[in-house]
């Protein structure tokens, strides 16, 4: 694992990346279809280890039946499963969505809680899911790191983190807080479109050409 570059150098690189991503994706929208904090929470929980496209195909049918914790809690896990069966890990996710809805009803008055700590107590909700909800539903300054962001942060030498927790902290250091919401989406979009998981010699895109010429 290469050593972490000095902070000033990483900030300079991040500034260039930010400008390039803003030009490519000036107004990035969350990729998962949702209507409110609860439907976003469900969609993000479903998207773990699955594609957003697959989740977006499943959620209209599920939300037509249950778009609130009260309605979801009234379904059985089997009924939930029937609507999400093409999503990866559907049996576990069905049970989690049911248990999550029950907990929202019993502990949170049927509302999605607005702190990371409370969100992470919900069944099937990890740090990344909670971060996405805090950012996209409640406008809080979080930096959800998925596999794309982890990979690109390494390739652009913004982080040398071995895991997403270190990467999250490294990225929070180099991007201004008021950019976190957009830049986390912009990096994901860039990772899907250009900087995919395939190997790369670092000479294909303008971003790396600039960063490697410094």
Nearer to ligand SF4, 100 or 158 (CB): 158
Nearer to ligand SF4, 54 or 202 (CB): 202
Total residues binding ligand SF4 (CB under 6 A)? 9
Nearer to ligand SF4, 74 or 160 (CB): 160
Question: What backbone phi and psi angles, to 5 degrees, belong to 88?
Answer: -60, 145
151-180 binders of ligand SF4 (CB under 6 A): 155
Q: Does 204 bind ligand SF4 (CB under 6 A)?
A: yes
Task: Select from 108, 160, 205, 210 the one that contacts ligand SF4 (CB under 6 A).
Answer: 205
Cα gap 26→65, rounded to integer Å: 35
Site string for ligand SF4, 184-203 (x = CB under 6 A): ----------xx----x-x-
For the chain, the C-alpha Rg in angstroms (whole number) is 19
Give pairs for 80-89: CB < 8 Å, separation 24+. Answer: 83/58, 84/46, 84/58, 86/54, 86/57, 86/58, 87/46, 87/50, 87/54, 87/55, 87/58, 88/49, 88/50, 88/54, 89/48, 89/49, 89/50
Which chain residues interact with ligand SF4 by CB under 6 A? Answer: 155, 194-195, 200, 202, 204-205, 207-208
């Amino acid at each position: 694992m290469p050593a972490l570059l000095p902070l000033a150098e990483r900030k300079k690189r991040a500034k260039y990346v930010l400008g390039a991503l803003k030009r490519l994706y000036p107004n990035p929208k969350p990729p998962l279809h949702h209507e409110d904090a609860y439907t976003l929470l469900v969609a993000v929980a479903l998207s773990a280890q699955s594609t957003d496209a697959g989740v977006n195909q499943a959620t209209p049918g599920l939300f037509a039946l249950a778009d609130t914790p009260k309605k979801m809690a009234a379904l059985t896990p089997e009924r939930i499963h029937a609507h999400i069966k093409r999503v990866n890990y559907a049996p576990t996710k069905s049970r989690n969505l049911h248990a999550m809805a029950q907990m929202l009803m019993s502990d949170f008055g049927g509302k999605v809680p607005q702190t990371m700590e409370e969100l992470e107590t919900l069944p099937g909700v990890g740090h990344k899911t909670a971060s996405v909800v805090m950012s996209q539903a409640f406008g809080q300054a979080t930096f959800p790191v998925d596999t794309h962001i982890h990979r690109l942060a390494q390739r652009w030498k913004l982080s040398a983190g071995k895991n997403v927790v270190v990467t999250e902290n490294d990225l929070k250091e180099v991007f201004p807080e008021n950019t976190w919401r957009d830049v986390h989406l912009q990096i994901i979009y860039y990772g899907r479109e250009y900087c995919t998981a395939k190997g790369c010699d670092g000479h294909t895109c303008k971003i790396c050409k600039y960063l490697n010429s410094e």
